[in-house]
């Protein structure tokens, strides 16, 4: 330690100091947002159920996020994405299935995406936890990964997650149009039907929305059917309804 101070050599922080620094940086990262790592397990929706509601992440959204965190890079965005990501580990993580199932959760107007990714070196170690916070339009708000470079928000694991979401959007699996899904038949509601008296019913002619109120026809005391008269179509005469078969007119 004395020799370092004498020769102006910077002192390397201890493991505890590095952990404390990383903790402070993570608090700054999620400032103003709910912490996805503290969400209840039942708050997350599986990939099969939530894919249709994923954010509309496009290739340009990935470009903006990657270059936003590296403004000092002298490489153009196409070269960086193709060389460092798409032809490198990030796209391979997605294609080879090292990036596992993506869970989604809507909180505070944002869509959080969470996934585990297998480490690139020690494949049997604990998988990295990667999450991304996006606007529904696809703009990346912030991201994090539990790997060494995760606080930089643009590690290969974060990029792999974004590439998978972009592929889902490109293949119309996110917000599919009605013409892109199988036709379904509207299922009846299955409401229970209860019996009622005729005088309590209301009959409606659906085509013209004309209602015939039988309360105006039937009095409170039931009348014999021979006394009921109904207007006949096409004339002003009235037709008497016979009370029984014997009173029916004989056709000769």
59 domain-assigned: yes
Its sign, for the CA torsion 230, 234, 237, 241, is negative
Q: C-alpha distances in angstroms, 52 versus 15, 37, 61, 135? A: 42, 23, 18, 15
Range of the domain at 87: 16-176
40 domain-assigned: yes
Residue 27 belongs to a domain: yes
In a domain, 181, yes or no: no
Q: How far is Cα 91 from Cα 31, in angstroms, rounded to an integer?
A: 29
- Give a yes or no: residue 247 inside a domain: no
* 38 domain residue, yes or no: yes
When divided into structural domains, the chain yields a total of 1
On whether residue 20 sits in a domain, the answer given is: yes
Total-model pTM:
0.61
Per-residue pLDDT 10s for the chain (252 aa) are 556 556 666 666 666 766 677 778 788 888 888 888 889 999 999 998 999 899 999 988 888 887 775 544 555 655 655 555 555 677 778 887 888 899 999 988 999 999 988 887 776 778 889 999 999 999 999 988 888 776 777 788 888 899 899 989 988 888 776 666 666 555 445 556 677 788 887 766 544 344 444 455 444 445 555 554 555 555 444 444 444 444 545 544
In a domain, 127, yes or no: yes
């Amino acid at each position: 330690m004395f020799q370092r101070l004498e020769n102006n050599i910077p002192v390397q922080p201890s493991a505890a100091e590095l952990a404390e620094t990383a903790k402070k940086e993570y608090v700054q990262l999620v400032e103003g947002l709910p912490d996805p790592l503290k969400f209840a397990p039942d708050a997350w929706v599986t990939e099969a159920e939530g894919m249709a509601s994923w954010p509309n992440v496009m290739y340009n959204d990935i470009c903006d996020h990657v270059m936003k965190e590296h403004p000092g890079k002298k490489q153009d965005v196409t070269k960086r994405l193709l060389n460092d990501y798409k032809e490198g580990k990030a796209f391979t993580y997605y294609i080879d299935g090292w990036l596992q199932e993506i869970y989604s959760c809507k909180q505070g107007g944002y869509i959080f995406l969470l996934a585990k990714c297998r480490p690139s070196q020690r494949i049997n170690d604990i998988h990295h936890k990667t999450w991304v916070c996006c606007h529904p339009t696809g703009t990346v708000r912030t991201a994090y990964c539990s790997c060494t470079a995760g606080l930089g928000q643009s590690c290969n694991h974060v990029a792999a997650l974004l590439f998978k979401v972009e592929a889902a959007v490109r293949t119309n699996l996110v917000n599919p149009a009605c013409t892109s899904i199988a036709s379904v038949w509207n299922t009846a509601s299955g409401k229970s039907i209860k019996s009622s008296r005729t005088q309590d019913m209301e009959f409606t002619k659906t085509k013209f929305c004309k209602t015939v109120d039988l309360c105006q026809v039937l009095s409170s005391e039931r009348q014999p059917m021979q006394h009921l008269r109904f207007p006949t179509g096409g004339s002003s005469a009235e037709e008497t309804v016979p009370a029984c078969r014997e009173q029916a007119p004989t056709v000769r």
